[in-house]
């Protein structure tokens, strides 16, 4: 649990974050993070999800601790631990790769070739001032990080495709860089070459959604799966492009 000085959240902020909850029990809390909300370290005068979790703080001031993070413009399942033992358990589960993550991404142009496969490409993070970027590099580079992503195409046409992604590793911007590496960047991802207009239709943001998490629960290791519904903006764009899911 995170112990910090309680934030003065407004009634609207408390109602907002409580409305994001898709699962909660004694040990875990899961929310469906909307695109545009930072997990942590957000912009000045804008509360992050980490701060908004103060709405679930105990009288002692401790609040749920995020188990992992999502990029600001990525939507979907985000998990927080409600106790220190649960946080430690989930941290170890992630290190042991016992947490299976499922993402959906709109990519283009058209489907990847092949339509299903494994991307194994080491990644290198480069910091330029306050900006951080990631690129594919030779695995022998001293700062290279091994990265593995499995993907499969769910639906596609000549304009775009909806792909399901299962990262075996959790590197910064891994899915975004891996998909750009195979020539199918995520729509709306200006940083890594994604189209901002597809088939004449504007792309409102990074079209990446953390659809589900599957993991052993801290209470007894029971297999647990938490899923977040596909957001309205992604559904609308899929329908506009004629992609049937």
Query: Can you tell me which residue has the tokens 């992503």?
Result: 149
pLDDT of residue 197: 98
pLDDT of residue 169: 95
Domains of the chain: 2-96 (3.30.2350.10), 103-207 (3.30.2350.10)
The DSSP line for 47-76 is --HHHHGGGG--TTSEE-EESS---TT-EE
222-237 pLDDT tens trace: 999 999 999 999 999 9
Instruction: Give the pLDDT band (50/70/90) at residue 7.
Output: low
> Omega of the bond prior to 109 within 30 degrees of 0, cis?
yes
- Residue 71 known to be catalytic: yes
Catalytic residue among 50, 71, 73, 189: 71
112-167 pLDDT tens trace: 999 999 999 999 999 888 888 999 999 889 999 999 999 999 999 999 999 999 99
The model's pTM is 0.93
């Amino acid at each position: 649990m995170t112990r910090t000085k309680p934030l003065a959240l407004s009634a609207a902020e408390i109602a907002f974050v409580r409305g994001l909850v898709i699962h909660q029990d004694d040990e875990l809390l899961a929310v469906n993070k909307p695109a545009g909300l930072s997990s942590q370290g957000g912009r000045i005068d804008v509360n992050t999800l980490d701060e908004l979790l103060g709405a679930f703080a105990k009288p002692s001031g401790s609040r749920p601790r995020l188990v992992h993070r999502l990029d600001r413009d990525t939507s979907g399942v985000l998990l927080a631990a409600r106790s220190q033992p649960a946080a430690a358990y989930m941290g170890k589960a992630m290190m042991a790769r016992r947490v299976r993550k499922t993402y959906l991404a709109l990519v283009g142009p058209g489907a990847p070739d092949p339509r299903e496969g494994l991307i194994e490409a080491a990644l290198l993070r480069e910091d330029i001032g306050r900006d951080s970027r990631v690129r594919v590099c030779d695995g022998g580079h001293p700062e290279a990080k091994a990265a593995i992503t499995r993907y499969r195409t769910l639906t596609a046409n000549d304009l775009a495709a909806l792909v399901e992604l299962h990262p075996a590793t959790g590197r910064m911007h891994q899915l975004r860089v891996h998909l750009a590496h195979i020539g199918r960047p995520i729509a709306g991802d200006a940083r890594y070459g994604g189209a901002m207009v597809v088939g004449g239709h504007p792309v409102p943001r990074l079209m990446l959604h953390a659809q589900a998490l599957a993991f052993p629960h801290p209470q007894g290791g029971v297999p647990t799966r938490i899923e977040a519904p596909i957001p309205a903006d992604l559904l609308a764009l899929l329908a506009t492009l004629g992609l049937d899911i």
